[in-house]
A and B are shown apart, each in its own frame.
Chain A
């Protein structure tokens, strides 16, 4: 086995080690390069910005704890944006494991920062099983699906929910998701009920969601940590996503270098083989 063939067939554990180092280094030595804004994020920012003050907005926490590195910065940035515009926020989750807990923690933390009152300025509806039934049911009556909020308080006792009957009273939906629920929000709620919406999704999901941005069903898109970082920058609040971009930059560069090395090994190995045959 030549040295080139060995490079081409490198043990994957070396790659894992390099990845580990590439992720760790930026946390020790931050670089903080500027983030350029993509049109989809600008579109999202403009859509939220154009909402009248005190609009009622639904914010979804449709993500598992496993993806919080990508998705939580989106939720936090969205809340900063909405609360700074004095929007009323109704949150919910279609994820049984972790979704409602994250919603409770993040929303309360940011609401406290802006001095918002629970039940008046924001409400956490919590989780109900079967997202298709939930999305369709909210079109008829929110109280039919969520008779109580996340803590068990009846919606009738929450002032904000007196003026929110169904989708007709929701001005905008800000979906943050790491799974197929994003598609359902578009195909059920936007297509059938006509509620304007935007979406923040993991980087893996983003390419598919571009199709909905192109069709005008989504008024903007945050794709992964990069999208969240762009949004943070537009809001003038460099937070977790901007900080995480250094690690993402380095690991992307590492993969590019690895691909180049792999190809070099592959071609040189082939050439060496041809030389042997000649």
Chain B
């Protein structure tokens, strides 16, 4: 299935029109209640702007325009870390977080797993992928198998290398720590959603002498990873990783669109600060109207 921009734009436009058609009897069950939530128009505007930005840059990328991506040291170190494991004859441990497959962090983690497994397959390095949820287990097995096939090493994949450990957070952590101490992986990669177990895992890996690459969007866990790991991906770097590793223009287009919106957010914040100060100094009285638009009723 290839990406058709015009068709996609058409569908998105249809979706917007559909959403905006608040009076449509097709959707209303009770005529006296408002069907369309007007207090969420700000979110609708944001979604439309965001989709337009992402689609525009994706279109530009498809036309062949080269988009600059800054370096992410942690991702550049993946190949080196796998190479080290190969030299030492020890496995690579990859944990795609402790959240279920319906969480974006996990999807990011398993997406990167596909890229990393391809490198692992080429180097013929043993791989261990512990999963906390059965759905993640199934996805990881599928991804790893596919990556081995794409690397031309379909027989290299061992189904038991991707294994379910435990559904309880600390039981899972204890089991992973056991693997670290018994099997002594040369490289530990933690990419996904992590919580209280982040330091328990990273510190055990540090004690086992492994090279460690971590990344999570959970801000409260970043200090622990920074303290105990060699490389740490912060926040959105985790979501950018898949596009970064793929070098595909289509994927990097999305990142550019995201950056554009970030610039818009910065502008909104700066304008807000200025208006707030002017409001504070009784110069103009516009800040309340401005900030109210960004809050849902």
Instruction: List A residues at the B interface (Cβ < 8 Å).
Output: 12, 64, 66-67, 97, 178-180, 191-192, 194, 202, 204-205, 207-208
Contact = CB atoms under 8 A, between A and B. Distances in A.
B195 interface: yes
Contacts of A179: 195
Nearest to A178: B196
Contacts of B169: 64, 66
Interface of B: 168-170, 193, 195-196, 207, 218-221, 296-297
Interface class of chain A by DSSP? loop
Nearest to A132: B102
Given A12-B207, A180-B195, A207 B220 contact: yes
B219 A207 contact: yes
16 contacts: A64-B169, A66-B196, A67-B196, A179-B195, A180-B193, A180-B195, A180-B218, A191-B296, A194-B296, A194-B297, A202-B196, A204-B196, A204-B220, A205-B220, A208-B219, A208-B220
Contacts of A202: 196
A200 B125 CA distance: 45
A67 B169 CA distance: 12
Contacts of B195: 179-180
Contacts of B218: 180
Contact of A97 (B168, B219, B220): B168
A156 B146 CA distance: 52
A43 B221 CA distance: 26
A64 B297 CA distance: 34
A225 to B, nearest CB: 15
Nearest to B297: A194
B120 to A, nearest CB: 30
B33 to A, nearest CB: 13
B296 A66 contact: no
A67 B170 CA distance: 12
Q: Which of the listed residues B193, B207, B296 has the most CB atoms from chain A within 10 Å of its own CB?
A: B296
A136 to B, nearest CB: 13
Nearest to B203: A12
A191 B195 CA distance: 24
B101 to A, nearest CB: 13
Contacts of B219: 207-208
Nearest to B219: A208
Contacts of A66: 169-170, 196
A216 to B, nearest CB: 9
